[in-house]
Structure 1
Amino acid sequence: MTAETVMSMSYQAMKIALAMAGPALLVMLAVGLIISIFQAATQINEMTLSFIPKILSMVLVLALTGPWLIGLMVDYIRQLFGSIPTLIG
């Protein structure tokens, strides 16, 4: 196994991790921003006001993107397992 293959595999793994975490993180960022603007405007500083909508949005995003995320991970693992013989020899 050469350094080029290791770097290629690392790049691909980071790309898959970013693609899987990206949608949930972006939605959480948007919901957090909206809630913080609401809290600043109304001066309500309740912790559950920021926590519960973030959890609900995370559940919704994972429910909507779950099949795509599983398919993405299964394709990556199949490709990784398929390349094992070429990496060994």
Structure 2
Amino acid sequence: MTTSTTMTIRLDPQLKAKLGRLADGTRRSRSFLAAEAVETYVDRELAIIEGIERGLADVQAGRTVSHEDAMASLRQVIDAAADNAA
């Protein structure tokens, strides 16, 4: 059995009404839908923060490529694809 905890939030009355319509339409509780929305948001935001942290670690460790080198590599790939298409 899963455990949960209670948290109180304030919603704009229009948003609460929309949540109620969604709950009615999906046969889910407003609480279930709100918890699902918060979980999705938190997971997405944490993934963004973790990606930024990985990027910063790469910069600190010198695992980077200059913009000029990256663009040169892309140009080579594009040119090779154009040559193969011709």
Q: TM-score if structure 1 supplies the norm length?
A: 0.29
Would you tell me which structure has more helix in proportion to its own residues? 1
Q: TM-score if structure 2 supplies the norm length?
A: 0.30
By relative contact order (CA 8 Å, sep 6+), the higher-ranking structure is 1
